[in-house]
A and B are shown apart, each in its own frame.
Chain A
Amino acid sequence: MLEILQFDFMQRAVVAGLLVGLICPFIGIFIILKKQSLIGDGLGHIAFAGVATGWLLGIYPVLSATVVTVLAALGIEELRVRRPAFADMMLAIFFYSGIACAVLFSSMAKTNAVSLFGYLFGSIVTVSVQDVWTVVGLAVVVLLILGVIFKELVFVTFDEEVARISGVPIKKINMVLAVLTALTVSISMRIVGILMVSALMVIPVAASLQISHSFRSTLINAVIISEISVITGLTASFYMNFASGGTIVITAALLFMIAFILKQAVFERIGKSKTMQQSG
């Protein structure tokens, strides 16, 4: 691990990767428990349109992707509230429109395949100093806002109706979560890739849910699983020249399978023995 840190590009990738590994589960736990796991995927495709807009207009693609993704997230949330019965359909329309704009704009901008692949699948080699500072800045913003509204988010996620009746401003909280999800997508796409950006939000939390016994422990375990995935993925990417996104996501998926098997084999056996002791 120390050996790979001798390279500047790996230092940048590790800093950005560790921040991504920290933030993704913080947002992922809320979107999974609100049954909105696919929102990250949809926003990833919209981020692609943002990146292509940046190429077309000659501006920094991460910045254009951030702006486009945040606007789309606010639009999706507003439509979800106004037309809850069609929320799924609205997300699909945003999803396909995003990918269509991305294809159109990137063909108009005549983007080269290396840049395209770097954004689509993640690339540790192409993470620039500007990318790292952008990731650090956005990550600090996300963490600060999460710190301020964390208890409200937990309440709204658990029971939106009772949270509203208690006086929690649920519309504002859901809007802020939508913006934070969009920022997280923008932060993550350089490392994990646009096509897999949602995976790091979903899979570590899904793995943690198998082995955790409180909201707090689910979050802590998800961050640990996420960081293990990032470090393993980046190391494998360095030594084997794989796209970083693929190796990170496959590591996370393997950890999910281990957690799932552990749950079946160990936790449920403990549960059965407790039941037998109580009945005996």
Chain B
Amino acid sequence: MNAFEFENVSFAYSDHNVFTHINLKIAAGDFVAIVGGNGAGKSTLLKLCVGSLKPDCGQVKIFGQPVASYREWYKVGYVPQNPLRDKSFPTTVEEIVAMGRVARLGIGRRLGQADRDMIVRAMNLVGMGNMRSKIIGQLSGGQQQRVMVARALAAEPEVLILDEPTAGVDTTGSEEFYALLQSLHKDSGITVLIVSHDVDRMVKYANTIANFDQGLKYYGSVDHFYQPPRYVNSRKVRKGEILNHA
């Protein structure tokens, strides 16, 4: 079963081609690290996956259905880049995590005991259970990211999509964050798609790499990607100088 399929997808921002006729299958249960230089199309790939952008040609499928007609979006947990736009927004950790249940419940239905239990479980999973009453703006960048992951987990997703989740997070916070993602992936079988510039750390935990440099240059296992003689260090990945293993 594939979580996502890109069939002959092309996409351009006005005159800048990002993807030209790419084909890609992301298997359910994979932990995919999406790497590449600035402007290589990493975030664009995620936006195509969640329907925020539409391909110029070809189609993107999610669990076998075209994105445009997909309805079970609560199965997709999305953690955006800079998730907290307004630090003064008056809301607590628990209130934010509860938002994760909204789409699954549907309009007009209130949170029940099972929903509340799931909210507590999600907060505990990311280690924020003891901060449920804290205002989000008072937390560190790493803690805020954990809250956003908890919100996504509260929906009991089958896919977790994260766009630069550790930007602005310190080293310890990043390490803990990736360890958390890995345990979620291993324990719950969640498919993880993550874009980050933190390549060294990311590839320690992911099992698959998608490398973009003027198109998709490599998609496959992390081990194969780093196999000699084509050993490539992460600095080159960051610079978009990766060899084509595809």
Contacts and interface: CB of A to CB of B under 8 A. Distances in A.
A273 to B, nearest CB: 15
B112 interface: no
Interface string B79-116: 01001011011111001101110110101101100000
A161 interface: yes
A167 B95 contact: no
A165 B90 CA distance: 23
Contacts of A166: 73-74, 76, 78, 100, 102-103, 155
Given A162-B80, A166-B155, A215 B95 contact: yes
A33 B102 contact: no
A163 B102 contact: yes
B135 interface: yes
Contact of B80 (A161, A167, A212, A213): A161
Given A165-B73, A166-B73, A148 B90 contact: no
Contact of B50 (A33, A151, A158, A165): A165
Given A152-B102, A159-B83, A167 B91 contact: no
A218 B107 CA distance: 23
B65 interface: no
B96 A168 contact: no
Interface residues of A, number: 26
A33 B89 contact: yes
Nearest to A219: B90
Contact of B86 (A33, A155, A215): A33
Contacts of A154: 91, 95, 99
Contacts of B85: 159
Contacts of B51: 165
A234 interface: no
A148 B51 CA distance: 27
A212 B52 contact: no
B133 interface: yes
A216 interface: yes
Contacts of B107: 148-149, 152, 169
Contact of B92 (A149, A152, A167, A213): A213
A155 B88 CA distance: 16
A209 interface: yes
A158 B80 CA distance: 13
B103 A168 contact: yes
A277 interface: no
B16 interface: no
B116 to A, nearest CB: 13
Interface of B: 50-52, 71-74, 76, 78, 80, 83, 85-86, 88-92, 95-96, 98-100, 102-103, 105, 107-108, 110-111, 133, 135, 151, 155
